[in-house]
Amino acid sequence: MNQALATDIAIRNAIIDLERVNVTFGGEKNKTVALAETSLRIENGEFVALVGPSGCGKSTILKLVAGTLSPSEGHIFVTGREIGANDVRIGMAFQNPTLLPWLNIRDNVMMPLKIVPPFKRDFARKKSGEYRDRAEALLAKVGLSGFGDKFPWQLSGGMQQRASLCRALIHDPTLLLLDEPFGALDQFTREELWEIMQTLWIERRPTVLLVTHDLKEAAYLATRICVMQARPGRIIDDSVVPFARPRTIDVSFQPEFVSLTQRLRERIVAARAVHEVQP
Amino acid sequence: MSAAAKRQILSAICILGFFVLWEIICVAFHVSDLVLPRPSQVLVTLWTQFPAIWPHTVQTVYTTLLGLGLGIVFGLALGMLIGSSRLAYDVAYPLLVGFSSIPKVAIVPILVLWFGSGTVPAVLTAMVMCIFPIVVNVAAGLASTEPELQDVMRTLKATKLEILWNIGLPRTMPYFFASLKVAATLAFVGTVISETVASNRGIGNVMMIASSSFDVPLVFAGLFILAALGVALYVIFSVIEGRVTGWARRGDNFSAGG
């Protein structure tokens, strides 16, 4: 590493820093640009929502930060170090609960403690003591106390998603990545989980990156909303959400909230219209 | 009486009925016991010849279990390799399919040439008979692991070995046990083929000698023993399967028992 680059890295204190990142799929002939020249900087403790139509590269950004996808061009820094070289703790929840069907809910929630250092070192010793209590306490917070011994298929979709949130949080991640975790739920369960999510975030203050196409969800939960457009995927709007916390569902009926979601909606619709005019 | 108990009794009556029908047909049409002995005759033979048959039964069981055990060890290892590596899949699959297409009777003489007659070729024949379904199922199970489950582990920065141990292997267990039930019966076939061709012990050998002296009831007694052993092994594996992989069938007893 040369001197200039080393200094460059030293002055970064953002937890996530995407620098002119390009992601392309396919060969020369049928090249798809999933993400074009995207830069995004997220400070420690922020709750950032990525919204936009499907195919705009929201999930691509999430995969880049999670380290399950490599950029075609550009750099991604997490806690000041290039992705892959850092040891930041990441928790992730997906649209599907993705619980392991052969483990009960408690063991599912405890899975990260088995894998992630420094917890994994003591896993064998603490799994039926301290770690078990930790999992039960977290399950109780999301309203699943007493369900630790159940298996995933014995729970409803909403309950599975709660357990999945617990699994994403059990190892106290610095970075929480949420890929439309409330997308497949009914309206009331969704709103209930927004509230739980907010409470957990206020308590623990991880940096959160939430991918969603629900503007209300974004405005309710996030401190900052990035609007994306498709083909090529890029960020076209970046707004701060000013409402005081803890927010309740009543906030979503206030004029400021409505006008914010209205404005974001118009930006997305406009971006789509431009796209549709193109051949 | 519960529906399950009724079902069991009904199936038991039907199975018993099959043997009774067999007996009746043999008596009614005066079928010679050189062609088809009556079930009662076979049972009598089993009873009277028991001291002579017993050591051979033990030999066959011992050989089969050893062959099956080796088949499980190598089958699991090979299946895991093939299921997790593209290159291993491309190399091993054609070889495996080719090898399993060879009639196993044809390889017994080769094994005898290498290891002499007796227990060793029988164990090896049992192994090569049962290894194919195990490898194919384990590989298929591993390959069909949902990418989402792997993503969960990858974001936690799990190593490949950790992913295999925590996701791949448990995910594969239902496939493995399904193959085991087939493999167990195939292992008996392998043992008996080898005993028939090149051994002086085992049920296969007993049947060989009995048929050459036209002792047809004894041949059938051997068949009955093999069938019973096969069923016993199948049942044992089914019970273990239910306990280990109940999650895949979502059985009601699993959460309480396992």
For the stretch B120-171, pLDDT in tens is 999 999 999 999 999 999 999 998 888 888 888 888 888 888 898 899 889 8
- Residue B211 clears pLDDT 60, i.e. is over it: yes
Give the residue-averaged pLDDT of B209-216. 92
**Given pLDDT bands bounded at 50, 70 and 90, which one contains residue B258?**
very low
Nearest CB to B250 within list A90, A153, A177: A153
Residues of A in contact with B155 (CB under 8 A): 66-68, 90-92, 177
Per-residue model confidence (pLDDT) at position B26: 93
A174 in Cβ contact with A79 (< 8 Å): yes
CA-nearest of A226, A152, A161 to A196 is A161
Q: pTM of the predicted model, to two decimals? A: 0.78
Whether A75 shows a pLDDT value over 90: the answer reads no
Question: What is the pLDDT, as a whole number, of residue A13?
Answer: 63
User: B82 near B93, Cβ under 8 Å?
Assistant: yes
Most trustworthy range by pLDDT among A27-41, A85-99, B170-184 = B170-184
**Is A115 in contact with B167 (Cβ distance < 8 A)?**
no
Q: What is the pLDDT of residue A277?
A: 52
Q: Bigger pLDDT: B67 or B244?
A: B67
Which tokens sit at A6?
């080393």
Option in B152, B166, B248 nearest A98 (CB): B152
ipTM of the complex: 0.80
Question: Coil, strand or helix: which one is B154?
Answer: helix
How many Cβ atoms from other residues are within 10 Å of residue B204's Cβ?
26
Q: In the structure encoding, which two tokens stand for residue B72, read together?
A: 């499980």
The answer to whether B217 and B35 are in contact (CB under 8 A) is: no
Where residue A274 falls among pLDDT bands split at 50, 70, 90?
low
* 3-class DSSP assignment, residue B29: coil
SS3 assignment, position A110:
helix
- Could you tell me if A112 lies within 8 Å of chain B, comparing CB atoms? yes
d(CA A154, CA A156): 7
- For residue A11, the model assigns a pLDDT of 46
Q: Distance, in angstroms, between B17 CA and closest chain A CA?
A: 41
